[in-house]
Amino acid sequence: MTAGRPGRPASVARRLGRASIIVASILFLCLFLVVPLASVFVEAFRQGAHAFVESIDQPEAMAAIRLTLLVAAITVPLNVVFGIAAAWAMTRFQFRGKALLGALIDLPLSVSPVVTGLLYVLMFGAQGWFGPWLAAHGIKIIFAVPGLVLATIFITLPFVARELIPLMQSQGSEEEEVARVLGASGLQTFFRVTLPNIRWALLYGVLLCNARAMGEFGAVSVVSGHIRGLTTTMPLEVEMRYNEYNYVGAFAIASLLALLALLTLAVKSALEWRYQAAENH
Amino acid sequence: MRRRVLPGFGLSLGFAVTYLGLIVLLPLAALAWKASDVGFAGILKLLASPRTLAALKLSFGGALLAAGINVVVGLMVTWALVRYRFPGRRILDALIDLPFALPTAVAGIALTAIYAPNGWFGRWLVPLGIQVAYTPLGVLLAMVFVGFPFVVRTLQPVLQSLEQDVEDAAESLGATGLQTFLRVVLPTLVPTLLTGFALALARAVGEYGSVIFIAGNIPLRSEIAPLLIVQRLDEFDYATAAALGVVMLAFSLVLLVLVSALQRWTRRWAEQSA
Amino acid sequence: MKLRPTLLALVATVMVLPAMAKDVTLLNVSYDPTRELYKAVNTAFAADWKAKHGDNVTIQMSHGGSGKQARAVVDGLPADVVTLALAYDIDAVADRGLLAKDWQTRLPDNASPYTSTIVFLVRKGNPKAIRDWGDLVRDGVQVVTPNPKTSGGARWNFLAAWGYALKLPGGTDDKARTFVKTLFQHVPVLDTGARGATTTFTQRGIGDVLVAWENEALLAKKEAGGDQFDIVIPSITILAEPPVAVVDKNAAERGTREVADAYLKFLYSPQAQDIEARNFYRPRSPDVAAKYAAQFPQVKTFTLAEVFGDWRKAQAKFFADGAIFDQIGPGN
């Protein structure tokens, strides 16, 4: 998989083309991704590390971090189960309406986050479909954790399924069928054959789903109610602090979110690397 | 039909459909129900207003353009990441997902700060007559930003699995690098590129959080369609807001159906020519 | 053993006393620029209530655009009190039956414990020599103001400009319309909220003048270190009255009526008026106002009622869908 294939010296034109593609790519990524990221960290540390730590070590920041992790911890497993179920049904069986199901899985991507929030207000708001019933039974959905979770599930629903479907499609079901014929139970087949085959795509789907779940702003903003320390997730806390002229505090939380994301991505890279190293042995 | 060897059809399909029904379809039904208060005539009237049209044009035009830019740049970047080894490659690879992870509001604030006339880039660009922040160009920039990972991440696994044998064969037969790329590699990538295009497009059309900071939000000029929805909501006009949401969703779906038709057509074409 | 009953009584008292100190939670749903204000007010009120009743009051805050906040309350955000940017937003909550329609008469001064005005924030030394509303429409002057469709503060800005033009000698609605239309042609960025507009002006360096709440302008000046911006008071401006109200239905359901009423009354107390003045809101109390006279220069104002009737009329005439702002706003 390396560029300079052995035994054939690359021509000058080839090398030139290769170098320009690399340089242009690095340049683009730096200007486009690294600079905005850097600006977040620069702002966060504008008044030094002490101010950074101080602005995070506060009850409302901690509450926001806890809430964000809680929402992600509920959202991601649910979407993983959904993703596996949907991918299993779609790649292992033929049925009517399969294309429709595929389209429905992608549908949340096309819905504006503003509208996503509105959807749940129309369902569970005081004037919504279920609003009066919920109020009568004292159940809170929007402006409480369940609403935040629902909106986040909606936004991140496609990610796991989208990673798994193409992979499971291309892998086919032969290995699983053999396992079944040899007498493995359904669960054994899944855990011993399917899961090892899809684990990288699954992990990747989980990471994307998680990153998006922690960072979602628009939809969550509509159903949050912005009660500080209670229903504000990290992205909402960022906005609040920004609106309080607390730029260091806002960017400190933002950089924490970026760090969380980079950390999960680093874990993924490390796992991939170890896995590849083990395979090459 | 072949006898099913594998179990779990009913369970997996049942769960997936129920989950989709509860999380996606039921809420969308609520949206359609609310939008029906406006009625078909109301929606037509809405579409006839220059303000709505301008906003839809900006949202969809910007998103199409952004998705196009993302396909071109994304292809280049993915190629570099997959085919070449260079220092910092892994870090850059990890950074691709940044627009996913960074809250959209933070992305918007960061981009605005960088491209404002007194920002890191703005102070150099504005004297050259290039205004990014608070213009439609800023909208485009934010849309490219949020859509970028979709193209790269869709393309990456396909490019990784693409055998280099064909390219090698083509080149040993005397094709130049560029010819190989255009005649051999690109056709097989087109369906995947279209998938990435569709995803980036869908994401950019509805984007609000990051765009709102950098757009300037001047009606008829730099006002995006989701902002119109927010304005209707602030007037307590849920029905019109819902109707606008339905219109946007319908347009998005038409575009996505077109893209997937194009995809089927190119796939067939690639198979025939292969 | 005569000691035992006494001891028992003592133990009982010790056990009962803390149990009698109730924990009460209030939710105050407010608009954007009041964060610093209510942070200070809440601390003072909690101490005051604790001293008088022995109960612990925790006041939770929710901030956002005024209209968006009103909508959240309508949709079920369980606010005990709303403290918003303009009466129209509380009217909207009242229209959905959450509080009595006569809410504005239940507290003194139109239920606005503090007021503000609309002023100009300009760059240090006022390089474009902006003195009055008329200067905003001069060639080469860029004006930053948020969108009246999404920002309560921006609606006050709009009405202040309209009122100025109307009150000029020979002023008519048509002339006011032309003036405001020209004014909005000088607006390069239309932020969705008052804070967003302030940030655009102060941090991004856009525009020559920010039209803003006086409290917002004073705060922005202070936050920037006090030496980057100047405040210009126009010849005449509107008296902005941000109102407060108890949300009857929620307070009844949550059993917080008494505390909620006391909380809003507390806003009129000398102690709270002083806090409001320190947070750049003009106090209603003449004594406190006298104390902060240096901070709040004399300004000629008109009220909404004098020029526009009431908020429902103003909303319908100017800011409703297809109304005057949609006809003359930027882009037209």
Q: Answer yes or no: is pLDDT of B250 > 60.
A: yes
Provide, rounded to the nearest whole percent, the portion of chain A with pLDDT above 70.
95
Check if the beta carbon of residue B180 is closer than 8 Å to that of residue A20: no
Beta bridge partners of C229: C123
What is the Cα–Cα distance from A111 to A119, expressed in whole angstroms?
Answer: 10
Q: Which residues of C touch A228 (CB under 8 A)?
A: 60-63
Q: Do the Cβ atoms of C74 and A127 come within 8 Å?
A: yes
Q: Answer yes or no: is pLDDT of B57 > 90.
A: yes
- Among A32, A103, A258, which residue's Cα sits nearest to residue B148? A32
For residues A106 and A217, membership in a common domain is answered with: yes
Structure confidence at residue A149 (pLDDT): 97
Residue at C283: amino acid letter: P
Structure confidence at residue C113 (pLDDT): 97
Residue C192 lies in a domain: yes
For residues C44 and C154, membership in a common domain is answered with: no
Q: Do the Cβ atoms of A128 and C75 come within 8 Å?
A: yes
For residues A30 and A166, membership in a common domain is answered with: no
Instruction: Kindly report, residue by residue over A24-53, the tens digit of the pLDDT.
Output: 999 999 999 999 999 999 999 999 999 999
> Quick check: C223 contacting A, CB < 8 Å?
yes
pLDDT band, very low/low/confident/very high, at A229 (cuts 50, 70, 90): confident
Nearest CA in chain C to A129: C75
- Among C102, C74, C83, which residue's Cα sits nearest to residue C249? C74
Q: What is the mean pLDDT of chain B?
A: 89
- Chain B interface, best mutation among A5, A14, A79, A114, by max B CB count within 10 A: A114
Residue at B220: amino acid letter: L
For residues A39 and A153, membership in a common domain is answered with: no
> Quick check: B249 contacting A, CB < 8 Å?
yes
Q: Answer yes or no: is pLDDT of A55 > 60.
A: yes
**Architecture category of domain B40-273 in CATH:** Orthogonal Bundle (1.10)
- Chain A interface, best mutation among B98, B168, B192, by max A CB count within 10 A: B98
> What number is the average pLDDT over the span B246-252?
94
ipTM over the 0.85 cut-off: yes
Residue C295 lies in a domain: no
CA-to-CA separations, C251 to B244, C90, C146, in angstroms, rounded: 35, 15, 33
Instruction: Kindly report, residue by residue over B6-55, the tens digit of the pLDDT.
Output: 888 999 999 999 999 999 999 999 999 999 999 889 999 999 988 899 99
Nearest CA in chain A to B200: A109
For residues C39 and C180, membership in a common domain is answered with: no
What is the Cα–Cα distance from B3 to C176, expressed in whole angstroms?
Answer: 79
Q: Which residues of A touch B33 (CB under 8 A)?
A: 122, 129
Q: At what angle do helices A145-171 and A195-215 cross, to 10 degrees?
A: 150
What is the Cα–Cα distance from C159 to C155, expressed in whole angstroms?
Answer: 6
What is the Cα–Cα distance from A178 to A193, expressed in whole angstroms?
Answer: 10
Q: Answer yes or no: is pLDDT of C239 > 90.
A: yes
Q: Which residues of A touch B151 (CB under 8 A)?
A: none
Q: Answer yes or no: is pLDDT of C3 > 70.
A: no
Structure confidence at residue C197 (pLDDT): 93
Residue of B161 and A177 predicted with greater confidence = A177
Nearest CA in chain A to C68: A222
Beta bridge partners of C120: C211, C232
For residues A25 and A56, membership in a common domain is answered with: no
The count of domains in chain A is 2
User: Least CB-CB distance to B217: which of C74, C147, C206?
Assistant: C147
Q: Answer yes or no: is pLDDT of B166 > 80.
A: no
Q: How many CA atoms lie within 13 A of C207 on its CB side?
A: 33
> Quick check: C230 contacting A, CB < 8 Å?
no
The count of domains in chain C is 2
pLDDT band, very low/low/confident/very high, at A4 (cuts 50, 70, 90): very low
For residues C164 and C83, membership in a common domain is answered with: no
Residues 158-187 of A with CB under 8 A from B: 166-167, 173, 176-177, 180-181, 186
Residue at A138: amino acid letter: G
Instruction: Kindly report, residue by residue over A78-89, the tens digit of the pLDDT.
Output: 999 999 999 999
What is the Cα–Cα distance from C57 to C24, expressed in whole angstroms?
Answer: 5
Structure confidence at residue B6 (pLDDT): 84
Structure confidence at residue A6 (pLDDT): 45
Residue of A280 and A15 predicted with greater confidence = A15
Range of the domain at A19: 12-44
Q: Do the Cβ atoms of C68 and B234 come within 8 Å?
A: yes
Q: Answer yes or no: is pLDDT of C16 > 60.
A: no
What is the Cα–Cα distance from B222 to B216, expressed in whole angstroms?
Answer: 6
Structure confidence at residue A3 (pLDDT): 45
What is the Cα–Cα distance from A172 to B209, expressed in whole angstroms?
Answer: 40
User: Torsion angle, CA of B206/B208/B210/B216, rounded to 10 degrees?
Assistant: 120
Beta bridge partners of C30: C63, C83
List the chains bordering chain A where 3 or more Cβ pairs fall under 8 Å. Answer: B, C
Domain ranges of chain B: 40-273
Could you give phi then psi for residue A123, rounded to 5 degrees? -80, -50
pLDDT band, very low/low/confident/very high, at B74 (cuts 50, 70, 90): very high
| C309 token code pair | 């009737």
For residues C174 and C234, membership in a common domain is answered with: yes
Q: What is the mean pLDDT of chain C?
A: 92
3-state SS class at C12: helix
For residues A24 and A95, membership in a common domain is answered with: no
For residues A30 and A68, membership in a common domain is answered with: no
Nearest CA in chain B to C65: B234
User: Least CB-CB distance to C149: which of B118, B216, B234?
Assistant: B234
For residues C137 and C44, membership in a common domain is answered with: no
Instruction: Kindly report, residue by residue over C32-85, the tens digit of the pLDDT.
Output: 889 889 999 999 999 999 999 999 999 999 998 899 999 999 999 999 999 999
Query: CATH number for the domain including C209?
Result: 3.40.190.10
Q: Do the Cβ atoms of B235 and C320 come within 8 Å?
A: yes
> What number is the average pLDDT over the span C187-194?
91
For residues A68 and A93, membership in a common domain is answered with: yes
Of the three residues C252, C268, C284, the one that is the final residue of a domain is: C268
Range of the domain at C85: 13-112+241-268
For residues A30 and A74, membership in a common domain is answered with: no
For residues A110 and A183, membership in a common domain is answered with: yes
For residues A28 and A78, membership in a common domain is answered with: no
Q: Answer yes or no: is pLDDT of A281 > 90.
A: no
Nearest CA in chain A to C34: A244
Q: Which residues of B touch A15 (CB under 8 A)?
A: none
Check if the beta carbon of residue C307 is closer than 8 Å to that of residue C166: yes
Structure confidence at residue C257 (pLDDT): 95
Helix (H) or strand (E) holding C61: strand C56-64
CA distance C166 to chain B (A): 26
Residues 161-200 of C with CB under 8 A from B: 187-192, 196
Q: Do the Cβ atoms of C75 and A243 come within 8 Å?
A: no
Structure confidence at residue C6 (pLDDT): 56
Structure confidence at residue A2 (pLDDT): 42
Tokens 């509380």 locate to C90
pLDDT band, very low/low/confident/very high, at A171 (cuts 50, 70, 90): confident
For residues A37 and A60, membership in a common domain is answered with: no
| B96 token code pair | 């691709």
Residue C6 lies in a domain: no
CA-to-CA separations, B177 to B75, B84, B182, C294, in angstroms, rounded: 16, 14, 9, 76
Tokens 């009220």 locate to C303
Structure confidence at residue B1 (pLDDT): 41
pLDDT band, very low/low/confident/very high, at A173 (cuts 50, 70, 90): confident
pLDDT band, very low/low/confident/very high, at C247 (cuts 50, 70, 90): very high
